[in-house]
Amino acid sequence: MSDIEGFNMPDDLYYHKEHAWVKILDDGTVKVGMSDFYQKNSGDTTYIDLPFEGDDVEQGETCGKIQSAKWVGKFVSPLTGKILSVNEDLEDDSTLINKEPYENGWIMTMKPSDLDGELANLFHGGAVSDFVKKEIADIDKKKQQQ
Amino acid sequence: MEKWRFLDTGRLSASENMALDEVLLECRARGESPNTVRVMQFSNPSVLVGFNQSVEQEARVDYCLESGIDINRRITGGGAIFFDRTQIGWEVICEKSFLGAGLPSTTLFESICEPVVQAIRELGIRASFRPRNDIEVDGRKISGTGGTDEGDALLFQGTLLVDFDVDSMLRALRVPVEKLKAKELESAKDRVTCLKWELGHVPGPEEIKSLLKRNFESAFRIELVDGGLTREEEILFNERKLFFKSPGWVHKVKSPGKEQITIHSIHKGDGGIIRTAMNVNLQQKRIKSVLITGDFFSFPRRTILDLEAELKDVKADIGIISEKVEHFFERTDCTVPGFGASDFVEGVKKCLDKVEITRFGIPLHLANRINAVNATFASVINDRPKHLLLPYCAKSPDCEWRYNEGCAECGECSIDNAIKLGQEKGMESITIQSFEHLMETIELIRKEGATSYIGCCCEAFFMKRLEDFEGSGMPAILIDIDSETCYDLGKENKAYAGQFERRTEVNIELLRMVLNAEL
């Protein structure tokens, strides 16, 4: 676990700029969910339109919707590949995204088609801290303007 | 200074307004349209459900059809709203980077609502932002909002209530009022306000629009230039209009059940009665909305309204709710004389207990007519009660047994059927002649070893005697009776004297379900 400004952003994960995390599994497939930074800022997830199993998606493509309070936000695939499975438990309790973002709150698994090439577009290691700090700075700047 | 477009689309139908939302967001996300503040009105009164809501659960569809109210679906989140012809809709469509936040945070919502708050204040109304995303005047909502995003663009929109037709709203939406009784209408009216109620007159739409324009300009430090749709937007709008009118869009989300059912509970605390009415999303096990009423005062006055807002969208889990309510009372330092946080939790708990009854195969609309006292429904059922208490008012007025205990079992009234159902389960049926007789009977069966009973009575009697039911300490399931009761007819005094001359009906269908209930 790595704590960045109060947000739990585990070191072994990769992060997309739209706040999805990627965990590389032993068999070369990946597990995807939304980060602690996302869930703490967005509040309780009230609804999720899950992506479809079997769909081919591209990195950065919107493949689902996540609603928190009155905001319908997009769920963006962090990698290109085929969706192998989706977490149907979220249909019963979408707040798993908030309660256990890196465990039972996962959203989908994928077979990536260009993992090595696309990982370069994600934040990892020291870059995660810079990314989170910049996001926080943007929010703080807005608060100061108010 | 950055130039944005000020787009006044005038009056459009619900489907056109919703289609335009999608078109404007999509074109902005593609970088083809400028940042925009749009104001809009509706040609017909309209019910707009949230992106993920089901029409059947949120709207009284028949009423809307009969009354010429359009029904459509927003592309934004949040609950169903009623948009009458006087309301002004406002929305911001811009690149996310302008507002400096990619996530739907309270800071983002507040920064977009601020110009609208200022515009309302300029009219002399003390409006303020209520987190997470409403604008209110002393706790009463005057503007509700919602948003969505696509690519690097966002759309955030809100209503501004001008001269609100609250009666039509309450009839068009399935808000948590059960029978639209006058008292319920009044308490629902306490939750909203509009420019006319605050000012005593209705400002013209042009004045309101120009106020909004000026305040968006100063808050965002932009110049708003009047403009129309771009050619690309026009083309896309004409393509999408039909889809947004189609059942495929309007009924995109199918309801898990047929319609939304409002669950009710009554709780008696030291300060009196708390009535809780609640809509629950059963699939997601989440509270959609709560209405708390009763003959109590709260300080500050807005306490109950804030508490209701606090409980919206909360998981239907009594542990979480209890924590929320207690935290709310601690945080706000509010006072409701005669009641504590636990009383309000109890009101919600009793509603959720009714949801639990559905586990026994009893549909929610019928479970809503069951009250368990001194125990849960499940524990009374597991206790296998041996006594069935039935009200004398369900016997025919001309029956020789009307004012006497017992029954000729002639089949002329619902009491006969109820007794037979009881016999099938080996239960002894007792017809109750008066309140005193009820209390004596409970004592008598307790002495005989009974540890619970099942009874039938009207809701009004239950509410009036709740303290006595609870005070007896005997666990019971009480089933609401059908038809007009002495309380509906204002004849409770005659009934108390055993002289009520109308016949009520025991709800046989529900009684059968309760007697057959098994997990």
pLDDT tens digit string along B458-497? 887 888 888 899 999 999 999 998 765 555 555 666 666 6
Whether the upstream peptide bond of residue A112 has omega within 30° of 0, thus cis, is: no
**Does residue A145 sit within a domain?**
no
Same domain, B8 and B66: yes
CA distance B358 to A78: 41
Over residues B83-88, the mean pLDDT reads: 95
Q: How far is CA B29 from the centre of its chain?
A: 35
Last residue of a domain, one of B220, B250, B280: B250
B14-29 vs B231-245: helix axis angle to the nearest 10?
Answer: 130
Q: Which of A72, A131, A134, A140 to mutate to test the interface with B (most CBs of B within 10 A)?
A: A72
Nearest to A46 among B111, B114, B286 (CB): B286
Closest alpha carbon to B341 in B380, B367, B310, B374: B310
**Does residue A49 sit within a domain?**
yes
CA dist A137 → A45, A113, B132 (Å): 24, 34, 20
B102/A contact by beta carbon, under 8 A = yes
Interchain pair B100, A146: CB under 8 A:
no
Same domain, B426 and B448: yes
**Does residue A59 sit within a domain?**
yes
Interchain pair B285, A49: CB under 8 A:
no
CA distance B192 to B141: 5
Same domain, B346 and B374: no
**Does residue A120 sit within a domain?**
yes
pLDDT in tens, B90-103: 999 999 888 876 77
Rg (CA), chain B: 27
CA dist B421 → B109, B269, B406, B507 (Å): 58, 35, 15, 12
User: What number of other Cβ atoms are within 10 A of residue B491's Cβ?
Assistant: 17
Over residues B15-19, the mean pLDDT reads: 97
B30/A contact by beta carbon, under 8 A = no
pLDDT in tens, A79-112: 999 999 999 999 878 889 999 999 999 999 999 9
Same domain, B479 and B507: yes
Per cent of chain B over pLDDT 70 is: 92
B110/A contact by beta carbon, under 8 A = yes
Closest chain B residue by Cα to residue A47: B52
Over residues B337-360, the mean pLDDT reads: 92
Same domain, B80 and B184: yes
Nearest to A41 among B99, B105, B110 (CB): B105
Q: Tell me the CATH number at B301.
A: 3.30.390.50
CA distance B49 to B268: 35
**B382 touches B454 (CB < 8 A):** no
Q: Tell me the CATH number at A53.
A: 2.40.50.100
Residues of B in contact with A93 (CB under 8 A): 284-285, 315
Domain holding A88, by residue range, is 3-135
Over residues B423-430, the mean pLDDT reads: 92
Last residue of a domain, one of B326, B360, B394: B360
∠ Cα B254 B256 B258 (to 5°) = 85
Nearest to A138 among B101, B114, B284 (CB): B101
CA dihedral B19, B25, B27, B31 (to 10 degrees): 180
User: Which residues 33-92 of A have a C-beta within 8 angstroms of B?
Assistant: 38, 41-44, 46-47, 49, 62, 65, 67-74, 91-92
**Does residue B68 sit within a domain?**
yes
What is the distance in angstroms between the CA of the first residue and the CA of the last residue of chain B?
68
The confidence score (pLDDT) of residue B206 equals 96
B103/A contact by beta carbon, under 8 A = yes
Rg (CA), chain A: 15
Over residues B401-414, the mean pLDDT reads: 76
Last residue of a domain, one of B250, B285, B315: B250
**Which stretches does DSSP call E strand in B179-304?**
222-226, 262-269, 272-281, 286-294
Over residues A133-146, the mean pLDDT reads: 75
Same domain, B338 and B394: no
Q: pTM of this prediction? A: 0.71
A142/B contact by beta carbon, under 8 A = yes
Sequence-ordered list of residues with C-beta below 8 angstroms from that of B247, at least 6 positions apart, any chain: none
Interchain pair A142, B75: CB under 8 A:
no
User: Which residues 268-287 of B have a C-beta within 8 angstroms of A?
Assistant: 283-286
Closest chain B residue by Cα to residue A145: B111
**Does residue A142 sit within a domain?**
no
Per-residue DSSP letter, B392: G
Interchain pair B146, A71: CB under 8 A:
yes
pLDDT above 60 (res B256): no
B470/A contact by beta carbon, under 8 A = no
pLDDT above 90 (res A77): yes
B132/A contact by beta carbon, under 8 A = yes
Whether the upstream peptide bond of residue B132 has omega within 30° of 0, thus cis, is: yes
**Does residue B256 sit within a domain?**
no
B50/A contact by beta carbon, under 8 A = yes
Domains in chain B, number: 3
Nearest to B284 among A70, A94, A142 (CB): A94
Closest chain B residue by Cα to residue A143: B107
Most confidently modeled range among B105-119, B278-292, B396-410? B105-119
Domains in chain A, number: 1
Exposure class string for B307-324: b at 16+ Cβ within 10 A, else e: bbbbbbbbbbeeeebbeb
Measured between CA atoms, how close is A24 to chain B, in angstroms? 25
pLDDT above 60 (res B4): yes
CA distance A38 to A97: 9
**Does residue B257 sit within a domain?**
no
Same domain, B187 and B333: no
CA distance B253 to B247: 10
Amino acid, single-letter form, for residue B78: G
**B183 touches B126 (CB < 8 A):** no
Closest alpha carbon to A78 in A15, A10, A12: A15
Interchain pair A43, B132: CB under 8 A:
yes
Sequence-ordered list of residues with C-beta below 8 angstroms from that of B65, at least 6 positions apart, any chain: none
pLDDT in tens, A25-76: 999 999 999 999 999 988 888 889 999 999 999 999 999 999 987 899 999 9
**Does residue A112 sit within a domain?**
yes
Closest chain A residue by Cα to residue B131: A69
Alpha helices by DSSP H, B30-136 = 55-58, 61-66, 96-99, 106-122
Same domain, B105 and B224: yes
Same domain, B445 and B508: yes
**B504 touches B458 (CB < 8 A):** yes
Closest chain B residue by Cα to residue A61: B151
B190/A contact by beta carbon, under 8 A = no
Domain holding B508, by residue range, is 369-515
Same domain, B236 and B279: no
Exposure class string for B162-177: b at 16+ Cβ within 10 A, else e: bebbbebbbbbbbbbb
**Does residue A146 sit within a domain?**
no
Same domain, B109 and B242: yes
Residue B329 corresponds to which tokens in the numbers above?
Answer: 């009372």
Sequence-ordered list of residues with C-beta below 8 angstroms from that of B381, at least 6 positions apart, any chain: B360, B477, B514, B517, B518, B519
Closest chain A residue by Cα to residue B53: A47
CA distance B397 to B407: 13
- Assess: ipTM above 0.90: no
